[in-house]
């Protein structure tokens, strides 16, 4: 089984219809953190699938999606700074499918 990593995914989509579709795609892969930001726990295969779905949805010269790799999902700690409201990173525990 491929190791899973945590990713922070941000997006800027210029069309409201595409924006809603990108949001729905990302809902299937992770947790919504705030406007245009998701945290996702992905294996290499799931990351490729996500990128393929997003690439089919966005317009290359109008929209922008960024994935930031935060480290292995099985690592005990995620280092982050949160100002304002309470924030909890994705729980790092095994997922049984």
Mean pLDDT, residues 51-58: 93
What residues pair up with 38 in beta bridges, in sequence order? 9, 32
Consecutive H or E run containing 35:
none
Does residue 95 register a pLDDT over 70? no
DSSP SS3 for 16: helix
Domain extents in the chain: 5-72
How do residues 5-22 score in pLDDT, each as one tens digit? 999 999 999 999 999 999
* CA-atom Rg of the chain in angstroms: 14
Q: 36 in helix, strand or coil?
A: coil
pLDDT at site 78: 63
CATH code that applies to domain 5-72: 3.30.70.240
């Amino acid at each position: 089984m491929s190791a899973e990593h945590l990713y922070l995914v941000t997006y800027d989509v210029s069309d409201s219809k595409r924006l809603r579709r990108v949001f729905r795609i990302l809902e299937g892969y992770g947790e919504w953190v705030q406007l245009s930001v998701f945290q996702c726990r992905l294996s290499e295969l799931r990351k490729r699938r996500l990128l393929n779905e997003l690439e089919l949805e966005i317009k290359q010269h109008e929209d922008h999606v960024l994935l930031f790799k935060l480290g292995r999902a099985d690592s005990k700690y995620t280092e982050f700074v949160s100002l304002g409201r309470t924030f909890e990173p994705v729980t790092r525990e095994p997922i049984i499918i």
